[in-house]
């Protein structure tokens, strides 16, 4: 019987268990270093493409996140954006002021409550948001292409599982609502 603990490839080197050369899973009592580090590097590169574009406007990642969510959710209340981004009102205020002053976002009063501030991207803001999303989509599609069929669903399940249980349904509803709005 073959020894499964010492499988070798055609060169005589130990063969990776999953065929992809990945590090073995972490022991139950230790950190999952490979996944933690892969997430760090994947995030770095995922936001790196848009960072280069944003730099030309003297914008940063906070600007990107605001543009993304306001574009996906036209008429979003400032309070809802604060909850999604999990940042302070002061931090959002600085970023929002720049986006409004430079013509990427507009604030309107609420129809029924004039104290509400509803956010919309302008044509200029939509264009920038779509450009950034396209860069990220190209990176995602390249990765899916390397993984083959089922990659999108597997990635979606993994990322959903990474969200705290008490926020998952709310996040999925937010995404579904934006998808419905963009299709109509």
Give me the pLDDT at residue 27, please: 55
Contacts 24+ apart (CB under 8 A), 155-159: none
- pTM score, whole prediction: 0.80
Q: What are the structural domain ranges in the chain? A: 31-137, 153-184
Measure the CA–CA gap between 122 and 108, rounded to whole angstroms.
12
pLDDT number for residue 6: 41
Predicted pLDDT of residue 11: 43
Cα 81 to Cα 70: distance, rounded to the nearest angstrom: 8
pLDDT tens digits in sequence order for the chain, 184 residues long: 444 444 444 444 444 444 444 545 555 678 999 999 999 999 999 999 999 999 999 999 999 999 999 999 999 999 999 999 998 999 999 999 999 999 999 999 878 777 788 999 999 999 999 999 999 999 999 999 999 999 999 999 999 999 999 999 999 999 999 988 765 5
Question: Residue 2: what pLDDT?
Answer: 42
Total residues found in the chain within this entry? 184
Asked if the 31-137 domain carries CATH number 1.10.1040.10, the reply is no
* Distance in angstroms (rounded) separating the CA atoms of residues 67 and 125: 7
Contact assessment for residue 105 and residue 122, using Cβ atoms and an 8 Å cutoff: yes
Q: What are phi and psi of 172, to 5 degrees?
A: -65, -35
């Amino acid at each position: 019987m073959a020894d499964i603990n010492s499988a070798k490839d055609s060169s005589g080197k130990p063969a990776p268990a999953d065929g992809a050369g990945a590090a073995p899973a972490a022991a139950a009592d230790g950190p999952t270093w490979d996944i933690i580090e892969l997430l760090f590097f994947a995030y770095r590169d995922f936001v790196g493409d848009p960072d280069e574009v944003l730099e030309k406007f003297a914008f940063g990642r906070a600007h990107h996140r605001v543009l993304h969510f306001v574009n996906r959710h036209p008429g979003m209340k400032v309070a809802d954006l604060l909850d999604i981004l999990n940042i302070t009102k002061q931090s959002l205020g600085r970023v929002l002021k720049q986006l409004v002053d430079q013509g990427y976002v507009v604030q309107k009063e609420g129809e029924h409550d004039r104290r509400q501030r509803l956010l919309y991207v302008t044509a200029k803001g939509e264009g920038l948001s779509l450009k950034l999303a396209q860069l990220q989509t190209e990176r995602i599609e390249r990765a899916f292409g390397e993984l083959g069929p089922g990659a999108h669903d597997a990635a979606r399940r993994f990322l959903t599982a990474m969200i705290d249980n008490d926020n998952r349904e709310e996040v999925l509803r937010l995404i579904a609502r934006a998808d419905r709005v963009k299709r109509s």
